[in-house]
């Protein structure tokens, strides 16, 4: 996130990223290019292992790969000359002390000296938590500042990685003082997340070994974890924020290795993940105390560690570094997803296929190009069947659902016409439940809405809205809120039919769902965001709205289907924002768009959010994607699918650089 709101924060600025092909560095390059910077990336050899960099958005116009070596001062000087800033990430992770120490210490010295000569505005150094916590006295457990205190401990324990990182960082601070270089340091913990580069780096190898059977036990040890995108973003934030100084610990949370394997086993039970600790005689190690408040104060919102682990494994699978076990290719279960081409439904289909399910997806017309994206999903050719069906045609639903173990009923139109809305929502849902009962499916998961929960004018502001709350039907009718009316009647009827027919029904009640589009068309919830970016609205409403990421909603559906004890309703929401907060976030990420700055109702006080709990679904293990990330990914998806053009200002910048 930029420190100010000027258009394209990187416009007109050139920065150097050392070791650009690395895990963290590749993400820094990616985010810098997205923000309009021109980037010089140093690599030892612009060979195929660095080819992923030139495939990044904006790379052809604004990325130059420079052949340079940390120990070759002249090559570094040439790469850094003319740059406004340097991101020094290059550092090997190897056990050989001679190979480790020289690049870490001498290389950092060369970068700092070249940066001083080039008079760059700021250098951001990627150090490590290893330069922070290795102090047997415990004096460093709470914060960060004393480097010298750890060096003797590191020498004694032969922890050459931490030793090299600490000496290199200490040398960087010394040189920065002598040369007058504005230095800021980021100290990340173990970094996880999707790989951009083709090779597996050391921090990801730590996870890979738990999945491929290379290790049979887990260590009695604790470790801090953080998402690679958050680390890359932290580097850019501290570069762009004038007041940033000193060191910044970058960590989401700390886990025992036993907790790590438990999370992995829950997401990916098909792999031979170890269940035993290598040290069962001693008590389980406890995490030390640390703080990440300093970087959070600059606006970083960390991605939850469970999501980090999930995305890491999916990336390893997608890149071919982790084979998908044979049993995942066919879980033996067949499920039906109604309205499969929709926004939420497409994501449910995607995640079901990834988990090995065979899926029958109902659509009005399987040949319609708007459903073609479904057959492009991983596993679709083998395990996805598109069935022509209509909610109001019972026979077609009966045929689609027959032989299924479960049903995900998501199909429902979003329209202001009361007749078009209410009949499909109510009668269609009744047909689905009845067909499911006849097919003797194990469970039906119904996509309802927060609209069935919160529309009650008599509710006290102090009452926390939870799954026991219902919208007032008369209030919905009197206010002509046909969406909430139709959804409420449909859900109430679903519960009635389920009870009469003996169907095991679970309901998910999501708030406004945003995130990346899989389908080619823009759905209603995403249009809400699109209008703020296209200039079609000049003001924002004085209202509040809760938001949630589409992947989290899809995952919630599958989780309540697979969890035997799941029952009742589940509110699915990350957080609530005033529309003014939404446009502020959008303007910070995408200042090049004509995002409204004025409220349509400036006479009345700003509406306050009602109290809402998502604890019930969180108790099943859902870790919600932060709303800022949801908004960012929504806009990037709209751009990628050509629903939102890159502004002329951005296009002109690309052409001229």
Decide if 472 is inside a domain: yes
What spatial distance separates the first Cα and last Cα of the chain, rounded to whole Å? Answer: 23
Alpha-helical regions (H) of 293-361: 293-296, 305-318, 343-354
Q: Which of 295, 318, 341 is the last residue of a domain?
A: 318
Burial class (CB in 10 A: 0-12, 13-18, 19+), 444: buried
pLDDT at 215 (0 to 100): 86
Cβ pair 68, 79 in contact under 8 A: yes
Q: 144 and 281 share a domain?
A: yes
Q: Based on the residue annotation, tell me whether 77 is a catalytic residue of this protein.
A: no
Structural domain containing residue 44: 14-318
Phi-psi group of 48: left, alpha or beta (phi > 0 → left; psi -120 to 50 → alpha; rest → beta): alpha
Q: Residues 429, 302: one domain?
A: no
Tell whether 314 and 361 lie within a shared domain. no
pLDDT at 132: 85
- Do 120 and 33 have their domain in common? yes
**Residue 104, C-beta contacts closer than 8 angstroms, at least 6 positions apart:** 91, 92, 164, 165, 167, 168
pLDDT value at residue 389: 93
* Nearest C-alpha neighbor of 86 from the set 30, 42, 147, 47: 42
Same domain, 241 and 184: yes
Last residue of a domain, one of 318, 349, 373: 318
Q: Is there a domain that residue 482 lies in?
A: yes
CA-to-CA distance for 469 and 451, rounded, in angstroms?
A: 11
**Is residue 142 located within the same domain as residue 173?**
yes
Asked whether residue 370 is assigned to any structural domain, the reply reads yes
Report the side by side order of strands in the sheet with 190-192. Answer: 190-192, 222-227, 253-256
Structural domain contains residue 190: yes
Indicate the SS3 state at residue 528: helix
Backbone angles phi, psi at 181, to 5 degrees: -90, 135
In 9-62, DSSP assigns E strands to 14-18, 38-43
> 382 and 286 in one domain?
no
Structurally, how many domains does the chain consist of? 2
CB-based contacts of 549, cutoff 8 Å, min separation 6:
513, 514, 515, 574, 624, 625, 629, 630, 633
312 and 281 co-located in one domain: yes
Does residue 171 sit within a domain?
yes
Q: Is residue 4 part of a domain?
A: no
- Domain-terminating residue out of 318, 345, 373: 318
Tokens of 380: 């679709």
* 301 part of a folded domain: yes
- Same domain for 39 and 100? yes
pLDDT value for 144: 40
Instruction: Give me the percent of the chain exceeding a pLDDT of 90.
Output: 65
| Helix (H/G/I), strand (E/B), else coil: 418 | helix
Q: What is the pLDDT of residue 158?
A: 56
- Looking up residue 335, the CATH number of its domain turns out to be 3.40.50.720
Q: Is 30 found in the same domain as 127? A: yes
Q: Quick one: pLDDT at residue 9?
A: 63
425 contacts 412 by C-beta, under 8 angstroms: yes
Q: Which of 360, 487, 588, 628 is catalytic?
A: 487
Residues of the chain short of pLDDT 50, as ranges, are 1-6, 93-94, 139-157, 327-329, 414, 650-657
pLDDT in the model for residue 328? 47
Verify that 251 and 354 share a domain, yes or no.
no
Report how far apart, in Å, the C-alpha atoms of 483 and of each of 192, 265, 334, 424, 488 are: 41, 40, 31, 12, 9
Same domain, 351 and 497: yes
Q: pTM, whole model, 2 decimals?
A: 0.61
**603 domain residue, yes or no:** no
Pairing of strands 334-338, 358-363: parallel
């Amino acid at each position: 996130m930029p420190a100010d709101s000027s258009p394209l924060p990187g416009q007109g600025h050139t920065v150097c990223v050392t070791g650009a092909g690395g895990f963290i560095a590749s993400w820094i390059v990616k985010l810098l290019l997205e923000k309009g910077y021109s980037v010089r990336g140093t690599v030892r050899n612009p060979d195929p292992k660095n080819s992923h960099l030139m495939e990044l958005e904006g790379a052809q116009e604004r990325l130059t790969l420079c052949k340079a070596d940390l120990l070759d001062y002249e090559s570094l000087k040439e790469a850094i000359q003319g740059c406004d800033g340097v991101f020094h990430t290059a550092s090997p992770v190897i056990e050989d002390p001679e190979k480790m120490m020289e690049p870490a210490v001498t290389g950092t010295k060369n970068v700092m000296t070249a940066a001083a000569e080039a008079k760059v505005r700021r250098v951001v150094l990627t150090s490590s938590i290893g330069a922070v916590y290795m102090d047997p006295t415990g004096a460093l457990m709470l914060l960060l500042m004393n480097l010298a205190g750890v060096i003797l401990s590191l020498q004694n324990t032969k922890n050459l990685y931490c030793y090299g990182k600490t000496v290199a960082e200490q040398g960087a601070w010394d040189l920065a003082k002598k040369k007058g270089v504005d230095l800021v340091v980021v100290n990340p913990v173990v970094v996880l997340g999707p790989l951009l580069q083709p090779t597996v780096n050391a921090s990801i190898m730590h996870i890979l070994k738990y999945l491929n059977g290379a290790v049979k036990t887990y260590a009695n040890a604790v470790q801090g974890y953080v998402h690679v995108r958050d680390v890359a973003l932290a580097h850019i934030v501290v570069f762009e924020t004038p007041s940033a100084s000193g060191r910044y610990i970058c960590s989401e949370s700390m886990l025992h290795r036993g907790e790590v394997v438990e999370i992995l086993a829950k997401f990916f039970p098909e792999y031979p993940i170890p269940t035993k600790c290598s040290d069962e005689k001693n008590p389980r190690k406890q995490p030390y105390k640390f703080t990440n408040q300093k970087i959070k104060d600059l606006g970083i919102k960390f991605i939850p560690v469970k999501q980090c682990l999930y995305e890491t494994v999916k990336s390893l699978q997608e890149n071919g570094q982790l084979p998908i076990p044979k049993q995942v290719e066919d879980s033996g279960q067949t499920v039906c997803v109604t309205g499969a081409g929709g926004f939420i439904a497409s994501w449910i289909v995607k995640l079901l296929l990834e988990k090995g399910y065979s899926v029958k997806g109902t659509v009005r017309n399987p040949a319609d190009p708007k459903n073609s994206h479904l057959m492009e999903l991983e596993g679709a050719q083998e395990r996805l069947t598109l069935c022509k069906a209509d909610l109001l045609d019972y026979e077609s639903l009966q045929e689609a659902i027959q032989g299924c173990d479960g049903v995900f009923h998501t199909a429902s139109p979003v329209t202001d016409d009361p007749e078009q809305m209410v009949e499909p929502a109510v009668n269609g849902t009744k047909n689905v439940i009845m067909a499911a009962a006849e097919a003797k499916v194990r469970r039906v998961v119904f996509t309802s809405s927060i609209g069935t929960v919160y529309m009650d004018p008599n509710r006290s502001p102090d009452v926390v809205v939870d799954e026991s709350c219902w919208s007032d039907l008369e209030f919905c009718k009197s206010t002509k809120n046909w969406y909430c009316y139709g959804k409420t009647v449909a859900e109430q009827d679903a519960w009635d039919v389920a009870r009469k027919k003996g169907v095991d029904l679970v309901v998910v009640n999501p708030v406004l769902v945003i995130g990346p589009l899989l389908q080619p068309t823009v759905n209603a919830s995403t249009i809400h965001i699109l209008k703020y970016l296209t200039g079609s609205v000049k003001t924002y409403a004085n209202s509040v709205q809760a938001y949630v990421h589409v992947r989290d909603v899809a995952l919630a559906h599958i989780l309540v289907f697979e969890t035997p004890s799941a029952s009742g309703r589940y509110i699915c929401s990350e957080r609530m924002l005033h529309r003014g907060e939404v446009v502020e976030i959008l303007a910070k990420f995408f200042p090049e768009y004509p995002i409204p700055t004025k409220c349509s109702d400036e006479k009345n006080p700003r509406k306050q959010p009602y109290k809402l709990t998502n604890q019930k679904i969180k108790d099943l293990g859902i870790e919600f994607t932060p709303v800022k990330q949801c908004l960012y990914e929504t806009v990037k998806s709209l751009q990628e699918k050509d629903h939102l053009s890159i502004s002329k200002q951005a296009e002109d910048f690309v052409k001229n650089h």
